[in-house]
Amino acid sequence: MSTKRRIYLSKSRFQNGRQCRKRLWLEVHRRDLIQVSDASQARFDEGNHFGELARELLGGGPAIEAGPLDAERAQAETRALLELSVQQVPRIFEAAFEHDGVRIRADAVLRGAANNELVEVKSRTSVKGEYLWDCAVQAWVMRGAGLPLGRIHVGHVNNQFVLEREDDYSGLLIKVDVTGEVEPLIPEVPGIVGELKAVMKGNEPVIATGRHCGEPHPCPFTDYCKSQEPEEPDYPVSILPHGGKLVEQLKRDGFLDLRDVPEERLSNERHIRVARASRNAEAIISPELVDALGALAFPRYYLDYETIGPVVPRWIGTKPFQQVPFQFSCHIEQADGSIGHREFLDISGNAPMQGLVDALISACGTTGPILVWSRSFEAGRTREMAAWFPHKAAALNAIVERMVDLLPIFRDFYYHPAQMGSWSIKKVLPTIAPELDYADLEVSNGGMAQQAWREAAHPDISPERKQQLRAAMLKYCERDTWAMVKLARWRPW
């Protein structure tokens, strides 16, 4: 008797297999290779939070308790609920169905006398193409399992929602009827299912990495797949900023090393600079850099925010995904070279905006440029705070008016090959002040700062850990503005 374990497809395996056959195979056979980034984990946690809230917003009802690894019990629980009348159980969440080797859990089944409806819940703000396939495979399984299914919906986040009363999230979820788009896909599902089953049973597919690894979702096997491929050249063509189709075409034409690409193949001025600097292994610095930096008046303020943008708004007046500043660092440089520092950080979990606005206005004085890296972000957040606090709007709008962006100055007049096609401050800084990297910091990027905030603001955190996180977050944000000081003071000759 064969003891071989049967391998099932699931909704996520179906989707991951559509993205890449190798990804599906690895998920089934080499789960030990999965590497989930902090950003992906944070998105996942946020999605779960919205998913739980969506149940209430759809009217509430029983959710199948058996976990994802206990499909048989989940299906038995589902059958038991379906035997009860629609009046007794009008909605079922996480209902489990199986058909032809595919097991799915439906986010929400809205029951009706003759027909049921499916709602696929997504913590995004619009209906994306891949969601239709999520719905199609579920509809195919549900009907195959004998459940009459009529309308099909995607329930997504309403990006116009504003939290006006504490815990009142009515209106946060938008239900979009996608039946018309999904029905034509359903006949294609069995063919894809058959193909994916063959992939799961076969050997590891040989598929090169490419754009598909990030679309529609970043693949957690990227490190593994890259490790199987020949080592990349020091300056791969993929470093061309926003290279997209051009990079794909260059690769198809056999150009892997940017240094080998004839200059006539490049038309974008930045691409040409990146390629030249890579080829010559030296920085390209325009005289205008010195002029632009020298023209900045004193006192100079160097400002940086850290923000958090939860799917489910936490504070009155905020929208889903709205980036709310909870921290800033501000270095202040006088004409005589002396430096001061002001900062703010709120990890209480309460609305941080009022405290931050007061501290910001006090820190920024009334004259002198406020230097930022990528102005649209800091300016956008400051304008939003002006809208929240109309009585402080004049002072906040004056801060916006004084903001000067260091990024375009460096992007237009400076490029070092070690930047690898990027002008993020973390790429530029080590080429000018190598002693100032971020490797010694516990929190060393914006995503980690958000993770740290979530942990620090959690009610169960210990005071010691909270203090440790606070210190790490302050150090990180201060490093960002100190980096700007170093860059603005730098003179190449």
Closer residue to ligand SF4, CB minimum distance, 26 or 74: 26
Of the candidates 96, 106, 225, 488, which one interacts with ligand SF4 according to CB under 6 A?
225
* Number of residues counted as binding ligand SF4 (CB under 6 A): 12
d(CA 234, CA 153) in angstroms, rounded, equals 48
User: In this complex, which beta carbon is closest to ligand SF4, that of residue 207 or of residue 289?
Assistant: 207
CA distance 94 to 52: 11
Positions in 2-21 near ligand SF4 (CB under 6 A): 20
Tokens 């009155």 — which residue? Answer: 316
Which CA distances in Å does 212 have to 43, 241, 456?
20, 18, 36
Answer yes or no whether residue 200 interacts with ligand SF4 by CB under 6 A: no
Among 23, 271, 381, 416, binds ligand SF4 (CB under 6 A): 23
DSSP for 265-326, please give it: G--SHHHHHHHHHHHHTS-EE-HHHHHHHHT--SSEEEEEEEEE--SS--STT--TT--EEE
- Under the phi-then-psi rule, with left for phi > 0, alpha for psi from -120 to 50, and beta for the rest, what region is 321? left
Distance (Å, rounded) from C-alpha 33 to C-alpha 42?
20
Assess contact for 106 and 94: CB atoms under 8 A: yes
- CB under 8 Å to 72, separation ≥6 — which residues? none
d(Cα 434, Cα 53) in Å, to the nearest integer?
A: 47
Q: Of the two residues 221 and 482, which places its CB atom closer to ligand SF4 in the complex?
A: 221
Smaller CB distance to ligand SF4: residue 153 or 197?
197
9 or 58: CB nearest ligand SF4: 9
Q: How far is the CB of 213 from ligand SF4 (least distance, A)?
A: 3
Q: Which is nearer to ligand SF4, 20 or 200 (CB)?
A: 20
Q: How far is the CB of 493 from ligand SF4 (least distance, A)?
A: 44
Under DSSP, the state recorded for 146 is: T
Return the half-sphere exposure (C-beta side, CA atoms, 13 A cut-off) of residue 34.
Answer: 14
Binding test (CB under 6 A) with ligand SF4, winner from 121, 145, 147, 219: 219
- Decide whether 18 or 466 has the Cβ nearer to ligand SF4: 18
Q: Which is nearer to ligand SF4, 207 or 398 (CB)?
A: 207
Report, in Å, the least distance between residue 226 CB and ligand SF4: 7
174 or 213: CB nearest ligand SF4: 213
Residue at 55: amino acid letter: R
Out of 10, 158, 222, 444, which residue is the one contacting ligand SF4 (CB under 6 A)? 222
Is residue 469 a contact point for ligand SF4 (CB under 6 A)? no
The answer to whether 358 and 344 are in contact (CB under 8 A) is no
Q: How many residues does the chain have?
A: 493
> Between residues 208 and 297, which has the closer beta carbon with respect to ligand SF4?
208
**Positions in 24-63 near ligand SF4 (CB under 6 A):** 26
State the nearest-atom distance from the C-beta of 465 to ligand SF4, in Å: 35
Nearer to ligand SF4, 128 or 212 (CB): 212
Identify residues 236-265 at the interface with ligand SF4 (CB under 6 A): none
Give 199's contacts (C-beta < 8 A, 6+ positions apart).
17, 21, 24, 25, 205
Judged on CB neighbours under 10 Å (0-12, 13-18, 19+), 146 is exposed
Window of 74-82, 164-172, 178-186, 213-221 that interacts with ligand SF4 by CB under 6 A: 213-221
Of 121 and 219, the one with the shorter C-beta distance to ligand SF4 is 219
Q: Please check whether residue 302 is in contact with residue 405, taking contact to mean a CB–CB distance below 8 angstroms.
A: no
Closest CA to 159 of 8, 389, 281, 313: 313
- Closest contact distance (angstroms) between CB of 220 and ligand SF4 is 8
Considering only 89-97, 220-228, 345-353, 432-440, which stretch makes contact with ligand SF4 by CB under 6 A? 220-228
Judged by CB under 6 A, which stretch of 38-46, 64-72, 219-227, 460-468 contacts ligand SF4?
A: 219-227
Place of tokens 């400051």: 382
Should residue 213 be labelled a site residue for ligand SF4 when binding is judged by CB under 6 A? yes
Question: Which listed residue (131, 221, 373, 414) binds ligand SF4 by CB under 6 A?
Answer: 221
Q: How far is the CB of 44 from ligand SF4 (least distance, A)?
A: 17
Q: Look at strands 173-177 and 149-157 and give their pairing.
A: antiparallel
Q: Give the C-alpha separation, 440 to 357, whole Å.
A: 30
Query: Using the rule CB under 6 A, which residue among 22, 55, 197, 381 binds ligand SF4?
Result: 22
| Of positions 212, 251, 375, 426, contacts ligand SF4 by CB under 6 A | 212
User: Binding residues for ligand SF4, per CB under 6 A?
Assistant: 20, 22-23, 26, 207, 209, 212-213, 219, 221-222, 225
